[in-house]
Chains A and B, each alone.
Chain A
Amino acid sequence: MRCKEVRQQLGAYDYSTYDAEALPQALREHLAGCASCRRWVSRTRRVSEMLRSLPTDEVPQYFTAGVMARLGQAPGSVGERWLDWLIGPLRAPAPRVPAYQLVAAGCLLLALVVGGALYSSYSHPGDAQHGIGVVIADGGGSGLAGTPVSVGGGGPRLRRINGEGDRLKINDLILRHQNYELGKPLGPDPAVRLSETSY
């Protein structure tokens, strides 16, 4: 079998229950001898896994009614279809969304926009320039002592470091991460890491 045919067939598989042993013999034989296709399968499975880990959106309560209401409607002109898309929920005989809910949502949105604008206008002048603040801490004896560092061109800047308490709390997270990494194989063991950090 050619790689193209193999990948066409494998593209239709449900990778949540993928079992290499259950594949047809022709596919198994091809994969056994083709590292490129094996790599392709590996990447596809990874993408599938990542997609499955994404949160799913909830379907709105009016969704079914809206879909059923649209069935059987003859498509109108381009202008009608555009208008329908723009204000369809309010034009329908049985509105897809109750009007009071729409008004409430609109008020909330307006309040958030206005409130956010007011809040950001009261922020520290330095903050106004940057959407996010970044602190980068690296190993070393004397620490960063206020040295500004940019991440990416024109990106956020470091702040002066203050507070022994916050340093210790970040240390706590680092220790947790190191603990977790203790079990990783074929990597620097604790004796190597101790030597690395003592320099």
Chain B
Amino acid sequence: MVTPPGRLGRAERAAVWVLCRLLPVGFRARQRSEWTGDLIAIGGGAAIARWRYLFAAAWTLPALRAQVYRSGLDSPRPGGSAVRASVAVEMITKVLYVGLGLPVLSWFIAIPFRYVLLDIPGRFAHMQENPRPFDPMDLWPVDGPFVVLIPLWVALSLGAWAALIGPLMSTFVAFVATLVNPKYMGASRFQRVVWAVLGAALLMIITVLTFLSDLVPVLRYAIDRGLSAGLYGCLTVLAAVALRGLSRRRRMALVLVGLGGIAVFVTHQTAVGEAMLSWYLD
């Protein structure tokens, strides 16, 4: 059956509807017009060409979604001229997402998640009733086929330490900034690799120095139990409210990351948080 010109068949309309449902709400109407207009222009007699068009649109839908979010076109402003985030805002946002988000996520997996999931208090109680050799830290399999998990464990541990140790947290944020900054300043790949290596070396030095706090007493204060993460969390929430040109989704993501940073600090001020920290530091 040939669809009359100027109209889409029922199945084509349904396909456009499904594709549009998979796009951000604020962008659906715009893209529906684009696709519908194109399909009408292709013509009712060219059913194969229309379905080929729809298949191509479906194939590139993930890319379209990603670009819509990245461009901030998912929440168009009245009048159609979206206020775009400046380069500085883009940079600050990325630094906060990664610089605070990664340590907070690592902290959550490495400390509270394991503490609750593996019932560490229960194991301690059991150990006191039935004394026998037991290392409560030995809960991450690293032998045999699990050897591939070692890099993940190292990354999670470093991230968790960054959330707990003030200087490490700040260095990590600065490290992320050096990785994000050159991209916008047009630095070459080689320069970015050099900065990344130097930043990683600095992170390792600070971590080692912190563990040598018996030799350098002032470093005992470096383990600030999430104070720095909390402060960065407050800054991130403020940034989410104050920065211009961010989409609602990105703003919400920043708020979540910020609240995560604050949660690190608040958790370690409670009795349970204190117990978690003692277990982790031991």
Report if A and B associate in a common complex. Answer: no
Chain A residues near B (Cβ < 8 Å): none
| Residue ranges of B at the interface with A (Cβ–Cβ < 8 Å) | none
